[in-house]
Amino acid sequence: MPGHKGSGPLGCEALDITEIAGADSLYEDSGILRESEQNAAQLFGARDTFYSAEGSSLCIRAMVYLALLRRPERPWILAARNAHRVFLQTCMLLGADIAWLFDESEAFSLCRTMVSPEHLAQVLSQHIAYPPAAVYVTSPDYLGNENDVAALAAVAHRFGVPLLVDNAHGAYLKFLSGSRHPMDCGADLCCDSAHKTLPVLTGGACLHVGKMAPPEFSAAGKRAMALFGSTSPSYLILASLDAGNGRLSSDWPEKLAGWVTLLSRARKEIAAMGWNVLRSDPLKLTIEPGSRGWRGTELAEQLRKAGIECEYADPDDTVMMLTPNNRPEDLEQILLCLSKIPSRAPLTRPDLYLPPPEVAMPPRDCLMVPSERIPAAESEGRILASATVSCPPAVPAVVCGERISREAVQIFRYYGTEDVLVVKE
């Protein structure tokens, strides 16, 4: 194996190998792959780093498993509501309950859940007798919002609880002039989708273990990854992770600093055009175009016509992600396109609100019951069976086992969800 024998139309087949002599084996590594992961751990300031050729999805599954190893009886996790669907699915498979932390601002956003350290402390203080197996947050989120990971880690540790961070969009934060990476902010575990912001092939990701994390996270890390990962990881992706280490150890951080400056200037230019530019992590351009009469999806389509493909768009926002591998001309093209888009009458956003949901059945039970697909507009009162949400952003508005409220139906309508899978009555 592989059957193409090193030749084919893609041109990369010669590098597409498998577990042959000298190539090491990812989940039983003792040679070149272990050395490469150790190099990555040193680069990211982690005690240990484990490679994934299946994106952060594999890392999230492993993080949940590792957290539950420390609390196998009555396991539960306290999580920010904007968690990726993979987190929810893993908790369902492993039989873990979830208590949700909701966004503390008034305006509902599918992607955003900002959690203050004060609120986290208040919630954890209510569960001193039986604390969660972990606190789980997503930072940065799809819009570029960043939680105060250092403050959240300090609070979680004060209550003896590890902090897990979905840092899929923030691998590059380590290489800013002042690191904002979870490993430097006290997180115990975090996943990095290296392919999202670093020079790595799609699917390349890392699970990092913090230097002060519980020792069993390191001891069982490989077992956790092997439990959920394919026994045939892509060596093309693994090779790109290794090559990425070399790039990150050279002049890439200097190039990153230059792009951070360029994007800071670009935000000011875009704001001067009259666009509402939201605060975001340094490599994102997040525009809320409603004040100029455009929905986020409409603005994305205007940009697409100019040859600019956005990372994400919803009714409220348009998000573009740039990296040091972009060309300065790419940014100039974005600015030129935005300068030519006319203003229209401002849009009025409906008052969306999601009340604390009614949990009608344990999420795990939803895996084993008959279900049916119905129009979302007719789903009020039904129990959601599966979080069928696309990626991006892969963040469900309603979670499996929850009863769909009238407010949730309005949110489905606003975000364009046409049908849902519900428990069959």
Considering only 20-24, 42-46, 85-89, 199-203, which range has the smallest mean pLDDT? 20-24
pLDDT at 117: 98
Could you please state the CATH topology (level 3) that the domain comprising 13-248 is classified under: Aspartate Aminotransferase; domain 2 (3.40.640)
pLDDT for residue 238 is more than 80: yes
Average pLDDT for residues 292-302, to the nearest whole number?
98
At residue 137, does pLDDT exceed 80? yes
In this predicted structure, the answer to whether residue 292 has a pLDDT above a threshold of 90 is: yes
Taking residues 391-419, report their average pLDDT: 90
Supply the pLDDT for residue 392. Answer: 74
3-state secondary structure of 301: helix
Tens digits of residue pLDDT in 352-380: 988 889 999 998 898 889 999 999 999 99
122-129 long-range contacts (CB < 8 A, ≥24 apart) are: 123/78, 123/99, 124/78, 124/155, 124/156, 124/159, 124/161, 125/159, 127/78, 128/159
Greater pLDDT, 393 or 288: 288
- Sorted by where each begins, the domain ranges of the chain are 13-248, 252-340, 358-423
Structure tokens at 350: 């409906």
pTM (two decimals) = 0.95
420 pLDDT above the threshold of 90: yes
- The pLDDT, as a whole number, for residue 73 is 83
% of the chain residues with pLDDT over 70: 99
Task: Say how far apart CA 27 and CA 256 lie, in whole Å.
Answer: 32
If you classify domain 252-340 with CATH, what class do you get? alpha beta
User: What's residue 20's pLDDT?
Assistant: 86
Confidence band for 177, pLDDT divided at 50, 70 and 90: very high
The per-residue pLDDT for 105 is 80
Distance separating the N- and C-terminal Cα atoms of the chain: 48
* The pLDDT of residue 391 is above 70: no
In this prediction, residue 278 carries a pLDDT of 97
Say if CB 167 and CB 186 are below 8 A apart: no
Per-residue pLDDT, averaged over 48-65, amounts to 98
Quote the pLDDT of residue 267.
98
Give 397-411 as a DSSP string.
SS-TTEEPPHHHHHH
- Mean per-residue pLDDT, 275-303: 97
**Confidence (pLDDT) at 72:** 79
The pLDDT of residue 320: 98
**Other C-beta atoms within 10 Å of 152: how many?**
27
**Of the given ranges (149-153, 168-172, 208-212, 357-361), which has the lowest mean pLDDT?**
357-361
Name the more confident of 71 and 51. Answer: 51
CATH superfamily of 358-423: Orn/Lys/Arg decarboxylase, C-terminal domain (3.90.100.10)
Task: Output the average pLDDT for the chain.
Answer: 95
Q: How confident is the model at residue 107 (pLDDT cuts 50, 70, 90)?
A: confident
**Does residue 74 carry a pLDDT above 90?**
no
Long-range contacts of 34-38 (CB under 8 A, 24+ apart): 36/238, 36/241, 36/242, 36/245
Is pLDDT at 66 greater than 90 in this prediction? Answer: yes
Alpha-carbon separation of residue 293 from 130, 269, 289, 299, 300 (angstroms): 50, 19, 7, 10, 13
Binned at pLDDT 50, 70 and 90, residue 324 comes out as: very high
